[in-house]
Structure 1
Amino acid sequence: MSRAAEGRSRGRIEERGSSLRVVVYAGTDPVTGKRSYLREKVDGTNKAAQKRAEKVLNRLLTQADEQRAPSSSVTLSYALDEWMRLTEMEDSTRKTYEGYIARTIKPALGEQPAKKLDARTLESFYNELRRCRARCDGKPFIEKHKSDEPDHDCQAAECRAHKCRPMAASTVRQIHAILSGTFGAAKRWGWLNENPALIARRPKQKAPEPDPPTAAEAARLVEAAFKMDADWGTLVWLAMTTGVRRGELVGLRFSRVDLDAEVIDLRYNWVGGKEKDTKTHQNRRIALDSETVTLLREHRKRVEQRLKKLGAKFHEDLFVFSGSKTPDHSEPYSPNAVTQRYKDMATRLGIKTHLHALRHFSATELLSAGIDLRTVAGRLGHGGGGATTLRVYAAWVAASDRKAAEILGSRMPKRNT
């Protein structure tokens, strides 16, 4: 059977609105027993799009052959797909990885046999991304927006002269993590003899540079928050005094706030519209000061009164903080809405800061006051017994150490001279 005839029997090109979809039968999944298909979208429906779809059909047919009989000759593209399919990860992480794979990794290395990619190739790839994320050849050209029209006008607003934009080192490190995971899996599956990503040098991690607001700025911020409304003021105050993460803050329920014991019990994190474990999968109890306890008692009373007016009943499983769209506190305050509202407030005050900086403020104030590193790490939910805290807040730890030395020196018996 010819390749063209094989393509027609095992795959098809469908027209779906203003685009084409290529579908190829890839056999039966040996685990689930279900029929498996490979699909890919092609923009446009004209002749140029049809030709591109034919190329995609041939590529997917080859990929389907590899999927039925995987060997050491599999492409990186196939290995990436298998790693993503079989690896457990958070939904938000998966979405991020899928973007990097589709936009950056596959266009550059996807069609290469995985076994031919070595450490030098990976380092060259990382270096190119740090120079220009589009990996251009250095020659001027016009960046066109997607169009199949032959008389496309390159003077359109969507088209502009290319300007090299380097990819951030942190982003390249994430791409390296994807490749390392994929090559590691390929080695376990017997497709590779070694993982080249373990040898390749990745960009160095930039030293953390926390920039917390000053005490005076923090006072202005919390004062402005309470002027906006008491609920918002309490939220900003709690973020400032506890240093909890955004997802932990909005995901907090009244059942986790023990006002008699003056502690909050952090077990969950609100991410992507779902309640999940905390970022480091740690449950921790954070002590509250008396002023914070008073504010939370007042906040609870406000919520109870609000629900009474709505004809609803207060119960402990309600969220402590909720947006205007859910005044009954059945849903948490949207994390993105909290971030944006805080940013808008800070901008009006002329303070250049962001919500996460309140976490830095809490940490640096504690360290500057001489609180030990392990206690600060525990409140922040850092793992490693304080290693992360030390790495992020090294300058403040050093200042605290200097203060400790001065205190010790002042307590030493005076020497006769």
Structure 2
Amino acid sequence: MTHSDRRTQLLELFEIGVRAADPAVCVPPHLPMPPKGRTLVIAAGKAAASMARAVETHWDGPIQGIAVTRYGHGVECEHIEVIEAAHPVPDDRGEIAARRLLEEARELGADDLALCLISGGGSALLGLPAPGLTLDQKKAINRALLASGAPIGDMNTVRKHLSAIKGGRLTEAAFPARIHTIGISDVPGDDPSVIASGPTVPDATTQAQALEILERYAIAVPDAVLAHLSDPENETPKPSNPVFNTSSFHMAAKPADMVGAVAEEGRRRGCKVISLGADIEGEARDVGLAQARLALEAAAGRKPGDQPVLIVSGGETTVTVTHPDGRGGRNCEYLLSLALGLDAHPDICALACDSDGIDGSEENAGALIGPDTLSRIRAAGLDPAQELERNNSWSVFSAVGDLVTTGPTRTNVNDLRLILVG
């Protein structure tokens, strides 16, 4: 198999993985029966608009609502208003949208239905601070958490406790209406309380844990935030709270679906598939080096004529940013570390992309590497190891034309990493 053939295969497999989480396919089977009263759609996340359109296409009866999604991720809906806002750092539009959603939820009665469509990214997009806090305070803490290398669970523990709508507070506002949540998971473990910081589900985390996380990552907080987190009256609703008696959660798609679809297609194409699962976490560069060792072992074990080996994994790595001027993303950082670990092995190519089409804050989904990657980077006048230390992986892959740019996919089941050996 040529280098070009491997790259084509990897891109095709990524597309198959994304299609496994298409809201048009995965949302309709989870729709509830219409209520006696009215139906309000409340959608938040990178897949919010496409999930809302899937509901409109299949819903029997009147419907209205709001879907808040990331800039560029909107789609046209007939009855549901689509609002685009900032991600990963919230902005005024997200704050206003979240306030409107909360106000709409409070008007629901016992015969009404809140049909909540929740996907990854919703935590930043629902940027309504808790009473007494400001959006600027939330933004500063959010930026610091993003740069700290904290895993998504820790980040969302803090976000829940600084929010007026997350951590179950949306269900609290809508009670006694029936709450039917359809989720698309982008988090390792698929915990509904972590997806978009769980606006409709109970929160088992505590203010004390949020404070401990802020202290652990040395994140400075203003006095107002410290006072808020120290007041037990501000605790999020817990599993025993009766507001959750009329609430249910239904998982429409998850990272394992994407990994499974790709693994199945890999086998169909004649590959020996090694699946590492959909819950990989850790520093992106450390995961890159670990998977480089695994790929080299697979290559060493192959004999002439053996089938290719496809190593598949999903999950969400983290990047501890030490050089804020660098331009990167967790998938590009993983790949640059992987390339260094593979040291130009002639039989190995790899792809790492975010299923939402955006790796970090840039406009690419991820990138590709092959046997000639390091030599081409050096020919472009760049030192790959030095650029990795500078958190500048995007710039490296941009310089050699190896970025993968899909545009917004309008779904989000986390990252897909593929290594093709042979």
Query: Comparing both chains, which one has the higher relative contact order based on Cα–Cα distances under 8 Å and sequence gaps of 6 or more?
Result: 2
Larger relative strand fraction: 2
Smaller-chain TM-score range?
under 0.3
Larger relative helix fraction: 1
Structure number with larger C-alpha Rg: 1
Under a length normalisation based on structure 1, what TM-score does the superposition of the two structures give?
0.28
Under a length normalisation based on structure 2, what TM-score does the superposition of the two structures give?
0.28
